[in-house]
Every structure is written in structure tokens, then in C-alpha cells.
Amino acid sequence: MISMTYNIALLRGDGIGPEIVDSAVRVLEAVGEKFGHEFKFTPYLIGGAAIDECGEPLPKETVDGCLASDSVLLGAVGGPKWDNLSGEKRPEKALLGIRAALGLFTNLRPAKLYPALKGDCPLREDIASGGFDIMIVRELTGGIYFGDRGYRTGKYGEEAYDTECYSRFEIERISRVAFETAKKRRGKVTSIDKANVLETSRLWRKTIHEIEKEYEGVTCTDMLVDNAAMQLVRNPSQFDVIVTSNMFGDILSDEASQLTGSIGMLPSASLGDNTRGMYEPIHGSAPDIAGKGIANPIATILSAAMMLRYSFSLMDEADCIEAAVDKVLNDGLRTADIIGDSGATPLSTTEMTDAIIARL
Ligand code: IPM
Ligand code: MG
């Protein structure tokens, strides 16, 4: 086996960010030991922590450090302390900034129902029993998140505006990711838009079906976003790969995450043109439980597994982490957010991490 060193930038961020990132680091170290790899971690400031320390949410040093790394692991940013800052200075701005700076136009958000967590799924049993395994492919560096915005004086006085813009180029490249992803799965893409209203959606729809022709054996159906929000709770098992714009993907991935039982379970990978990616749980900084040691570290640990798979091509190592998570759940171990009606005693963040490491 070739032993490799991988340089990972750590963006712990705010709230529960530091606790869950440290859990994932411990899991990576254990995997490194088991498989003979060295993971080197370099922390950088981001979000509120960076505002407190250097007056800005995304210091240049952080961007440079991430660009010089092999991959990035992020916790979460934001919290009530920084909620009254203006748009440009908010911690969330750092997240958009780092995604753009690293060219991470793809966001993969897998939402699957673990058999052991069926009881936590808020859907009626006859719907949940079908299970689901969805890969949401969210466009991450375009659309309304990055469009022209501002304040001005209009007919009724002060007004604010945000604009959505998508280029054919941006739609083509995210479409290809969706089709490539579907090829390795069940071959079914659902493209979600609002083509009955939005011009960007009409270009999206037209473009994706042009790209579809390049992919044999993969089908692509369109669905309007309002219908998609409904279909996700009506029959989630109908979806394989979902591809959608930045904002629709943001909203639908939170909806899908809750179907898995807890948003504390969902990892994500943000990818661009090279192997450097950024990996983070899809949940936020959860200020209400920060520092209490009770956060569910699984989403971040599974994000680390995605890093091994997508950035480092360490497939066995990634499988090993995912299998360990399966085992803890099957063994009935739970953090507070996934207790459901299991009657289990909630584990702390550290205890859950130890339990996963013990099962690697
Ligand atoms: C997410 C988050 C971010 C987003 C926020 C914090 C800017 O909700 O990653 O889903 O909207 O992209
Ligand atoms: Mg979100």
C-alpha cells in the first residue's frame, strides 16, 4: 500500500462547528492509522470566529490556506452574535466567498433513510417503509445567491432586490455532474425548476435536455419546484438524482434532510474542476446547543468520508467510515436528535465519536 500525506484545511467556524469538526478529525486520524495514511490538519478562521479575531468573515489567509490544501473540512458558520451585521460582513458571506474562491460549483447532498432510523422519519409509515436514497446535486456558485443585488428607491420608497442569473455554461457543467452521478446510480435525473415563471428556469430546462442527449441510459424528467416540495413528502422513493439551482437546492435539501430523521445526519461535498473539495454537514451552527457537547457529529464524520471518496479516491477508507456509522445506528446508539421512540440514552458528541471509532 502506498502511504500518502494529505493536507486538510480545517474551518471549524462557529457554534457547534468546532465540536463536530474535532470529532471528524479524530475519525480521520483513526482511519489514517488503520490504513497507513497521514492526514495533516491546518486550522483557519472563518465566519463569526474570524470577525471576532480579524474583523472580517473570510480573511485572505483562510482563502490562501484552503487553496494551498488538498481539501477542506468545514463545520458551520453564523450565530446570533453576528446577526445584526450588514450583508457583506455577515459570517454567511464567508461561506459564499470560499465556495466561489475555490470554484466549487457542485454541491452533492445525499439524503438516505437509514433502516435503523425509520422510526425518526416524520412521514407516515406506509410512505417511509419504501425507504429512499436521493442524491441532490445543487448548483453552488451561481443563481440568485451571486446575482446583482442592492437597495434603491422605487415607487413605494425604499426597496431591495436580488437577481437570478444563469449562463448556459453554468447549467451545462452542473447538468453533466448530475448525469455522471446518475450513471453510477439508478440512471434517473429529476431536474427541478420554476419554468412556468422564471426565464432562468426555461434556459435551465432547455440546456439540460440538450446535455441529456450525450448520456445514454440516463433519463431526465422536469419537475416544478413547488410540486417537488410536495413530492418529497408524498413519495420520496421516486427520486434518484435531483439537480437544481442554488436556492432551490438549499431549500429542498433541508426538506429532504428532515425526512432522514435529523438534519444532524446529512453530509455534503462541494466540488469544482479539480480534486480539492470542501466538505461540511448541511446543518448550521446550532447556537442553542453549542458548547454543550451534545451535537450529533455524524453529518461531519460522513462529510469526512465523502472527502476520502471524492477528493482522495480512498474508497475503502470511505466505506469503512460509512460502515462504522451504519453499525453504531444498528447497535441502537443515538445522539439526542435521533432518539425518536428508541428509548436509547442519548450519547454525547464525544461518546458517539468514540463509538464510531471503535467500529472502524
Ligand atoms: C447551506 C446554508 C448556506 C446556504 C447559508 C448558511 C449561506 O444554508 O449550506 O445550505 O444557503 O448555502
Ligand atoms: Mg441551507
Catalytic residues, which ones?
145, 194, 226, 250, 254
Distances (CA, A) of 279 to 130, 236, 244: 29, 25, 19
Answer whether 95 contacts ligand 1 (Cβ < 6 A): yes
Answer whether 139 contacts ligand 1 (Cβ < 6 A): no
Instruction: Indicate the pairing of strand 241-244 with strand 188-193.
Output: parallel
Distance (angstroms) between ligand 2 centre and the Cα of 3 equals: 36
The best mutation among 107, 250, 263 to test binding of ligand 1, ranked by most ligand atoms within 8 Å of the C-beta, falls on 250
Answer whether 94 contacts ligand 1 (Cβ < 6 A): no
What are the pLDDT tens digits along the chain (360 aa)?
A: 566 899 999 999 999 999 999 999 999 999 999 999 999 999 999 999 999 999 999 999 999 999 999 999 999 999 999 999 987 889 999 999 999 999 999 999 999 999 999 888 999 999 998 899 999 999 999 999 999 999 999 999 999 999 999 999 999 999 999 999 999 999 999 999 999 999 999 999 999 999 999 999 999 999 999 999 999 999 999 999 999 999 999 999 999 999 998 889 999 999 999 999 999 999 999 999 999 999 999 999 999 999 999 999 999 999 999 999 999 999 999 999 999 888 999 999 999 999 999 999
Answer whether 212 contacts ligand 1 (Cβ < 6 A): no
Distance (angstroms) between ligand 1 centre and the Cα of 250 equals: 6
Q: What pTM was estimated for this model as a whole?
A: 0.95
Which-ligand-closest: CA of 145?
1
